[in-house]
Structure 1
Amino acid sequence: MLHLRAVCPPDKTAEALEVLRAHAGTAHLVVHRGAAVAPEGDLVEADIAREAADEIVGALCGLELDHTGGITLESLDTALSDAADAAEEAAPGEGADAVVWEELVARTGEESRLNVTYLAFLTIACLLAAAGVLTDSAVTIVGAMVVGPEFGPLAALAVGLVLRRRDLAGQAAAALAVGFPLAMVVTLGGALLVRVTDVFGEQAFELKQHSDVDFVFSVGVPSLVVAMLAGAAGMLAMTSAKSAALVGVFISVTTVPAAGYAVVAAVKGEWSRCLQSVGQLLVNLLGIVAAAAIVLIVRRNGQRSPMGTRPLSRG
């Protein structure tokens, strides 16, 4: 179940109530007359089945409440109510299969912003990946995969392409185009410092002896297959209630490790491995976006066309 709150101008409240009353997936409808202060109006609350959310939110946006008032959604972990159970039973489909498109746009938009936090996580992930390469530690490489925040922009890019949201796609592309080069430059500085100070020893840069991390730069068809499977799983997780599966996606693909390996190989002068690592990075990025976009297209079949017109919020 989801908890919906809508701030309505007084002249729109009756229509909003009619939308909510008319849908079988609605329960616990409450109206607070004159409770909203900024913007002024009435506050309407209801618990709605997840599988009904897209249709209800679309109808409320049709009343322009997203412009004249406001609409928010919150996930409910527990709802002890016969009315809530009846609403979930009456709503068509299964909650885990439902896609709330406006929620998806908002979520991917938030996770694809180019900000200090995103850059910090991506840089730390690349540094961890480089450390894993230098120490021939697959465990450290996996740690870098988990820390890396790059799936957010990749998912946003897929959503932007499928929904034809140029603002979202542009924001995601900027995060990737700026984030990876910046993280790799910082990692390059770190790798050079390590080599000059000989912290890990000269043998750390003998990459041909590091068999445990060879998978990072070995680009090929298997890499593309893994990337596409991970992208499909990641988008399924983001469009359903199975968000815990995203952790599995993070440790499936070698985007960040490939960037870290490319930097270390460049410091050593192993240009063949450096280029292979860059190829691995590109293959994974393209594979994830392509598979995620395919999943979105498939999931959109059978549902109403998502609105996808609301500009990204900076709030």
Structure 2
Amino acid sequence: MLVHLRLNVPTALSDAVCDLVVNAEWATNVTVQRGVSLVPEGDLIECDVAKELAGDVITRLKDLGLGESGGILVSSPTAWPFAAARRLVERAPGDPDDAVIWDSVIDQAYAASRPTVTYHVFLALATLLAAIAVITDSAVLVIGAMVVGPEFVTVAAVATGVLFSRWGLTLRALRLLVLSFAVSILFVALLSFAADLTGLVTSEMVSRPRPQTAFIWHPDRWSFIVALIAGAAGVLALSTDKANAMVGVFISVTTVPAAGNLALALGTWTPSEISGSLAQLGLNLSGMILSGVVVLTIQRLLWQRVTAASERLFFSR
């Protein structure tokens, strides 16, 4: 698997960047267009590199000063049907599916910590679905709420900020989590209060036995274990570009349902459910952040050696 680098290079750095990409074994399809870059003024240099080595390449480019004075864009081609690409991929250590481009992880973390209207709307809708799932004791609706919930990438952003000591990112992501859950819970609680006044929803509906959904407000040791597993899955998916819908479902199982139950309990004032839902939500978020930091740390320190060793062990090439 290749990634494409598009580099806007100031004239003063052009020769150094050219030497880096032209003389390296890890690059192919190197092109240089002199003087075509207007901002910054200089050259446009493009090349393709094996995904496994892309992170190292970007680090070298940034060490030359290109990250501060020029431009680095990374994209992923959908196909590379030529012999030089195959040889390049075969020489690269590890498997491209296991490759981690840390600059991409950091950029995704910053994107996931932005307080967009869409983010708040999706979380509010997910919380509302979870509340209805509580009323109807419907496992199907719980799954629907988990699909809609957008929060797992923000949890991973918190872990990323901690790992790289980017405390501004960490605080921004934490603020988004707290604010978005507070807004969603308040929104659903107000709807629940209105429904309680009209008789559509009652406290008895919330507190009665619910064999299909009782797990979302009964925190125990297994809740924390699930949160640890969910957090590990979330950051692994983020770092290896595998954040698909099923991972989103798995992560949200520990957060959105508890938020929906909490909102419903507040709106109908069912105290027996409030403390359990709060504990479940807090326990799950803290567990996911903890395991996320651990997994990212392991990836940062050992991932390249582990993937290279697995290639030798399983003869994947």
Please report the TM-score for the alignment, with normalisation by the length of structure 1: 0.90
Give distance in 2, aligned partners of 1:283 and 1:240: 26
Cα drift, residue 93 of structure 1: 2.1
Cα drift, residue 269 of structure 1: 2.9
Alignment correspondent of 1:275: 275
Give distance in 2, aligned partners of 1:206 and 1:185: 17
Cα drift, residue 204 of structure 1: 7.0
Which amino acid is 1:14 matched to? D
Cα drift, residue 168 of structure 1: 1.2
Instruction: Please tell me whether the aligned partners of residues 138 and 212 of structure 1 are also in contact (alpha carbons under 8 angstroms).
Output: yes
Give distance in 2, aligned partners of 1:248 and 1:106: 20
Give distance in 2, aligned partners of 1:213 and 1:111: 29
Alignment correspondent of 1:309: none
Alignment correspondent of 2:293: 293
CA 1:170–1:242 in 2, change beyond 3 Å: closer, same or farther?
same
Instruction: Please tell me whether the aligned partners of residues 153 and 238 of structure 2 are also in contact (alpha carbons under 8 angstroms).
Output: no
Give distance in 1, aligned partners of 2:242 and 2:181: 28
Give distance in 1, aligned partners of 2:166 and 2:202: 49
Alignment of 1:30-41 (within 5 A): 30-41=31-42
1:210 aligns with 2:210: yes
Instruction: Please tell me whether the aligned partners of residues 7 and 72 of structure 2 are also in contact (alpha carbons under 8 angstroms).
Output: yes
Give distance in 2, aligned partners of 1:157 and 1:97: 22
Alignment of 1:12-27 (within 5 A): 12-27=13-28
Please report the TM-score for the alignment, with normalisation by the length of structure 2: 0.90
Alignment correspondent of 2:100: 99
Unmatched tracts of structure 1, length 5 or more: 305-315
Which amino acid is 2:286 matched to? L
Instruction: Please tell me whether the aligned partners of residues 129 and 261 of structure 1 are also in contact (alpha carbons under 8 angstroms).
Output: yes
Cα drift, residue 54 of structure 1: 0.8
How high is the sequence identity, in percent, across the aligned residues? 34
Give distance in 2, aligned partners of 1:102 and 1:160: 12
Alignment correspondent of 1:255: 255
CA 1:263–1:63 in 2, change beyond 3 Å: closer, same or farther?
same
Alignment correspondent of 1:308: none
Once the two structures are overlaid, the 10-residue window that deviates more, 206-215 or 59-68, is: 206-215
Instruction: Please tell me whether the aligned partners of residues 196 and 268 of structure 2 are also in contact (alpha carbons under 8 angstroms).
Output: no
SS for the counterpart of 1:287 is helix
CA 1:278–1:202 in 2, change beyond 3 Å: closer, same or farther?
closer
Q: How many residues align?
A: 302
Alignment of 1:173-212 (within 5 A): 173-199=174-200, 202=202, 205-212=205-212
Give distance in 2, aligned partners of 1:14 and 1:173: 43
Cα drift, residue 45 of structure 1: 0.8
RMSD: 1.8
Give distance in 1, aligned partners of 2:243 and 2:197: 43
Which amino acid is 1:161 matched to? V
Which amino acid is 1:251 matched to? F
CA 1:202–1:242 in 2, change beyond 3 Å: closer, same or farther?
closer
Which amino acid is 2:135 matched to? L
Instruction: Please tell me whether the aligned partners of residues 7 and 70 of structure 1 are also in contact (alpha carbons under 8 angstroms).
Output: yes
SS for the counterpart of 1:80 is coil
Cα drift, residue 158 of structure 1: 0.2
